[in-house]
Amino acid sequence: MADGTKDTKSSNQMWGGRFASGPDAIMEEINASIGFDKKLFAQDIRGSIAHATMLAHQGIISAEDKDKIVHGLSTILSEIESGNFEFSRQLEDIHMNIEARLAALIGQAAGRLHTARSRNDQVALDFRLWVKEELQKTEAMLTNLIAAFLDRAEEHAESVMPGFTHLQTAQPVTFGHHCMAYVEMFGRDRSRVRHAIEHLDESPIGAAALAGTGYPIDRHMTAKALGFREPTRNSIDTVSDRDFAIEFLSIAAICGMHLSRLAEEIVIWSTPQFGFVRLSDAFSTGSSIMPQKKNPDAAELVRAKTGRINGSLIALLTIMKGLPLAYSKDMQEDKEQVFDAAESLELAIAAMTGMVRDMTVNTERMKAAAGSGYSTATDLADWLVREAGLPFRDAHHVTGRAVALAESKGCDLAELPLADLQTINPAITGKVYDVLTVEASVASRKSFGGTAPSEVRKQIAFWRARN
Ligand code: ARG
């Protein structure tokens, strides 16, 4: 304007700088969810068909109208699936986009579909159906990942490697046993997924806006038609609840944390310094400047995806934490978090399954590393307890002196001459060397759940039967 002030008619002075037009455009932009909730089109249509069918069955709408509605919805489904559907932001969300198109296709009858329902129970239904399918997909993907680990564990039930605590060599273990640790972790993730499916397996449709409805609907009928165990029991809770989404995100966060620890191990193991595994070309990349390099990018990205998933969990917990019952529009922000986390989790599980199946395990390097760092020191102490009758604390002390001696001579425990060992404790005999090898060390650890190959095979059989 000539006097230098801004024209406040077309854009707000305080916050309208970005917008060419007035607040309507801003309202539309902040309000619309079609950009992301179009992902729910198939669930929305399934839900509407079940609802219309129930309305007709209960005599709330006529059979003719129901037929028109169902036919129109099926047409819309194929339009969307074939990319011949124009989504409109003015129509805000997937529910209204579909309903508007239905009206264009079948006329007045379309207006009867929304009888005895609200977008509040509709969105709760669509989203639940979507999360349920995603959980089922996750369950199957975890089963594949577990199968990949079981195969590697079987192949390497006897291969020795150093076991670590504090990332310092601790005691020899078998690579099969290490693989089975991941089977346990992903097995727990999968059982969390199964529980979550059980928790969410209730149908929200029919809760209406929040109070239920005066129409004689049959919620058991729609629940059954949509594959739910039963309808939800409290209409207020039904439209307020996003626990199913938060549960999905927490499971994804825990599983992502497991995947990230695995990714970290693969990054470490595939360094030339460790050399325990070699990733296949399919799951690594080269460097544009250093020709010798083979980078574990896929593992690194899996490690990073965990950050995104954790972010989504915290975001949705924060969105929900201050909301009064029942529905508030804040809840519209639930979907992007779940969609993004689901995509990240799927990619991460798939990439890890591929990496685990494809990687080459260097058993020679693992074995050499397993024997270094005095990894059988505990076996020497245990031998002193068993064969020489020493209390464990004394045996620990004697072994410590043997390690110090070996260190000063620059050799392994098994390379110390018997005479040297006997200067530390005269009860030591030549038999002690039997327990100082890494193979003897792992074979001796037969306690339930221990690293002995015989135990690892039992764990594998247990999981094969379960998987
Ligand atoms: N797009 C909305 C969402 O995702 C649908 C529900 C809208 N309900 C309402 N009362 N405005 O949450």
- Pick the residue whose CA is nearest to atom 2 on ligand 1: 332
Q: Is the pLDDT of residue 9 over 60?
A: no
- Cα of 123 from ligand 1 centre, angstroms: 7
List the catalytic residue out of 78, 88, 280, 287.
287
Residue bearing the bigger pLDDT, 49 or 28? 49
- Say which residue the tokens 């005095």 belong to: 374
- 3-class SS at 174? strand
Residue nearest to atom 1 of ligand 1 (CA): 93
3-state secondary structure of 13: coil
Is the CB of residue 33 below 6 angstroms from any atom belonging to ligand 1? yes
Pocket lining: 332 vs ligand 1, CB cutoff 6 Å: yes
pLDDT above 50 for 17 = yes
8 A C-beta contact, residue 457 and residue 178 = no
Average the pLDDT over 38-49 and give the result: 98
Contact 377, 162 (CB under 8 A): no
Structure token digits, residue 291: 């020709």
Lowest model confidence (mean pLDDT) among 4-18, 405-419, 445-459 = 4-18
Q: What angle do CA 157, 163, 164 make, to 5 degrees?
A: 155
DSSP H or E stretch at residue 361: strand 360-361
Q: How far apart are the first and last CA of the chain?
A: 72
Give span(s): CATH 1.10.275.10, the chain.
Answer: 31-112
Can you tell me the mean pLDDT for 42-69? 98
Which CATH number applies to 31-112?
1.10.275.10
Q: How confident is the model at residue 1 (pLDDT cuts 50, 70, 90)?
A: very low
* Other CB atoms within 10 Å distance of the CB of residue 92: 18
- Ligand 1, from 205, 329, 331: best to mutate by most atoms within 8 Å of Cβ? 329
Q: List strand residue ranges (DSSP E) for 108-265, in order.
A: 160-165, 168-174, 202-203, 230-231
Identify the pLDDT of residue 3. 43
Grade residue 185 by pLDDT with cuts at 50, 70 and 90. Answer: very high
Phi, psi for 102 (deg, rounded to 5): -60, -40
pLDDT for residue 179 is more than 80: yes
Please report which confidence band the pLDDT of residue 460 belongs to, taking 50, 70 and 90 as the band edges. Answer: very high
Give the model confidence (pLDDT) of 214-244 as tens digits: 999 999 999 999 999 999 999 999 999 999 9
Indicate the helix (H) or strand (E) that contains 370.
helix 363-371
Ranges in the chain annotated CATH 1.20.200.10: 119-157+168-364
- State which fold the 369-465 domain adopts: Ribonucleotide Reductase Protein R1; domain 1 (1.10.40)
Ligand 1 centroid distance, CA of 240 (Å): 11
Is-contact 238 207, C-beta < 8 A?
A: yes
Q: Is 166 a catalytic residue?
A: yes
Q: Which fold has domain 119-157+168-364?
A: Fumarase C; Chain A, domain 2 (1.20.200)
- Average of pLDDT values for 371-389? 90
Q: Is the CB of 124 under 6 A from ligand 1?
A: no
Q: What proportion of the chain, given as a percentage, has pLDDT over 90?
A: 85
- Tell me: the pLDDT tens digits for 93-130? 999 999 999 999 999 999 999 999 999 999 999 999 99
Confidence of residue 271 (pLDDT cuts 50, 70, 90): very high
Task: Find the mean pLDDT for residues 70-74.
Answer: 98
Band (pLDDT 50/70/90 cuts) for residue 283 is: confident
User: Nearest-CA neighbor of 210 among 328, 92, 51, 110?
Assistant: 328
In the chain, which residues fall in CATH 1.10.40.30? 369-465
What integer pLDDT is reported at residue 211 of this predicted model? 97
pLDDT confidence bin for 6, thresholds 50/70/90: very low
Q: What is the mean pLDDT of residues 435-449?
A: 93
**337 close to ligand 1 (CB < 6 Angstrom):** no
Nearest C-alpha neighbor of 461 from the set 150, 142, 189, 160: 150
Dist. CA 439–CA 442, nearest whole Å:
5
Tokens of 400: 């410590």
Catalytic residue at 287? yes
> Residues 405, 410, 412, 418: what is their CA dihedral angle, to the nearest 10 degrees?
-50
Q: Is 37 in the pocket of ligand 1 (CB under 6 A)?
A: yes
Cβ-contact 79, 98 below 8 angstroms: no
Burial readout 265-298 (b: 16 or more C-beta within 10 A, e: otherwise): bbbbbbeeebebbbbeeebbeeeeeeeeeeebeb
Token pair 């928790």 is at which residue? 199
Atom of ligand 1 nearest to the CA of 37: 4
11 vs 279, which has greater pLDDT?
279
Per-residue pLDDT at 5 = 39
pLDDT at 446: 95
C-alpha separations of 314 from 241, 269, 334 in Å:
17, 32, 11
Whether 331 is in the pocket of ligand 1, judged by its Cβ within 6 Å, is: yes
Q: pLDDT (tens digit, 9 = 90+) per residue, 285-338? A: 777 777 777 789 999 999 999 999 999 999 999 999 999 999 999 999 999 999
Ligand 1 nearest atom to the CA of residue 92, by list position: 1
Mean pLDDT across the chain, nearest whole number? 93
